[in-house]
Chain A
Amino acid sequence: MIRYLIKNNFKLMMRSATNILLYIVTPVILVALLSSAFNDLLQKYETNGSIKAGYIINTDDTDVKTKLLTEQVKTAANENDIILIEYPECDVEKKIMEEDLAGFVVFEKDGKYTVYQNGERKYEAKALDYLIDSVDKRIAQFMLDAYRSDVPPEVNIGVEHPQYMKPIEASDYYGIVEVVYFGWCAVVCGAGIFTAEKKYHIGKKLKVSGLSELQLFLGKFIPMLLVVSISSLLTAGITILLFGVHWGSPLISALIVVMSAAAATAFGLMFYNITENVVVTIIAVFAVVWVAGFTGGSFETYMLSTQPQVLKEISPIYHINRALTELSCMGHSDYTLSAFTYCITIMLVSASVAVAAGYIRGRNGE
């Protein structure tokens, strides 16, 4: 019943010059600008050889958690050209300056730790922080798996090659993250239809035909998703041809991009169904997406950003960016699953709220 509604809404969106400008032309221009602007920064980051950092352990030998973390961090550091030097009790900040260390890790009780970073060696310090964070996460996951399967934990958890910061070219990084970011602005591609439905009372006629709220939602969601996905994949193709962007694991990457577009589309439609105001929807969605992109590495590379890790982890764009970036430079990513989980959750929750909002509005006779 809604096949032709989907088809014609799709045609309407594809015929809009604004959509082509927003989803294809603008990201390509931004990729060119940002990759050229940040090329030096990422190259500097790449060329750093071994990193020197210090650590102290502020707990006793009976603290199993801290002991496990320390051992695994040392192994991972050794395998990744990070020289970790143990120091006795000392003034950390003074020690960093005296020894020209990239950073300093203070391991505390119950597996807690603090990473001090040398502002003069920002990129190396970030690498250290990134490595310890990766190891800590793997240990937490290992503990959880062991608890669930009732298997006693093994001491060696196998952080063999965390490949925490394999160099990535600026064109690859921005070629990937800008496609994701613009995909999150999916609501714009439906704006023309929202406006026409309201201005010309087309929505009224759709309601007369007896379409359910779910059908009305799908009538917009599917064509918007198709347009954003096709545009994003087309942009990715153009940036591959123009700037030689490398996407790792094409199938998984394409799937992440499509799921990201699905989450973004449902999220935008949810705002529209609640507010029924195109301008308010676009402003609200852009604000949320900008914040998520800011903390998620859409503008400043997430590896070098000074945002607290907890803020980054909240942003769905961070999970998507990180999964795609790591797939590009490492061929695999621990963030693939969380990227999918985030996207599917946002899509389902937003879709449910959007349909419920439409239903409540209809029931109230608005």
Chain B
Amino acid sequence: MGTVLKTKDLTKKYENRVVVDNLNISIEEGEVFGLLGPNGAGKSTTMNMICGIVKPTLGSVEFCGKDFDKYRKELTVELGYIPQELAIHGNLKAWENVELFTSLYGIRGAELKKRIDESLEYVGLLEKKNDYAKTFSGGMKRRLNIACAIGHHPDLLIFDEPTVGIDPQSRNFILEKIRESNKNGATVIYTSHYMEEVEAICTRIAIMDNGKVIATGTSEELKKMVVDDTSSITLEEVFLTLTGKKLRDY
């Protein structure tokens, strides 16, 4: 197993405010890597820099051993980004939304049609392929959001809080699909505020605060940083111990 993603001294400054400060993380092939942090910790900015949406002030992102900025055209096809927002067009049908985003990676014709059906089937929306996205429930839109990001078969899936505001059934379905994608060989980066979700699916977790990674390890390793008896503490308590209970008003 090799390193899929590595950040080297990744830094982002907005005027005088350092949002991400010399971040060095490394994600191995086949991992489900959880990124936790309070609001304003720098998680989204880190995700945006990894995806190439935001340019780092300093440092670099290495993807499969290659500089992402330099080989972006070649590497971007290996990346599937599922944003926190429902990045779909309500006035397009489900299949048209998947077609739009999958085609951006150079897939066309019969192969594109096959991938559209495959992606919709994967998220359980094949029967609704001809329905407009605006008629979908919150959970269905979340699933469609995922279908739009997996049609080009990326090796690295980045989920930015994919279960916000949906019912337990839809949440369970999405988590199952993330596990399934991981079993099928995809490496996953996952952010969420739901600690039990992170604990359930992530093989390794990093906790960020004030733009820095303050702890990394498995759920057990993180708990051991706080107490010896890991059965007496939850991941949420570890998180609060490490980041503090002070409200973050960003």
Contacts and interface: CB of A to CB of B under 8 A. Distances in A.
A8 B89 CA distance: 10
Contacts of B92: 8, 11-12
Contacts of A200: 85-89
B83 A201 contact: yes
A205 B91 contact: no
Chain A contact residues: helix, strand, loop or mixed: helix
Contacts of B73: 210
Interface residues of B, number: 35
A18 to B, nearest CB: 12
Contacts of A208: 51-53, 76, 79, 81
A200 B48 CA distance: 15
A214 to B, nearest CB: 14
A211 B104 contact: yes
A200 B144 CA distance: 13
A257 B53 CA distance: 38
B216 interface: no
Nearest to B14: A365
Interface stretch (B94-102, B119-127, B198-206): B94-102
Contact of B100 (A8, A16, A207, A365): A8
A363 B92 CA distance: 31
B193 interface: no
Contact of B12 (A4, A5, A205, A365): A365
Interface in A323-337: none
Interface of B: 12, 48, 51-57, 72-73, 76, 79, 81, 83, 85-92, 96, 99-101, 103-106, 108, 112, 148-149
Contact of B103 (A3, A12, A202): A3
Given A3-B108, A208-B76, A209-B101, 14 more contacts: A4-B100, A8-B89, A8-B96, A8-B100, A11-B91, A196-B89, A196-B90, A205-B81, A205-B149, A206-B104, A208-B52, A210-B52, A363-B55, A364-B55
Chain A's interface size range is: 20 to 34
A4 B52 CA distance: 22
Interface of A: 1-5, 8, 11-12, 15-16, 192, 196, 200-202, 204-211, 362-366
A3 B106 CA distance: 10
Contacts of A2: 104
A10 B73 CA distance: 26
Contacts of B48: 204
Contact of A365 (B54, B72, B87, B96): B54
A11 to B, nearest CB: 7
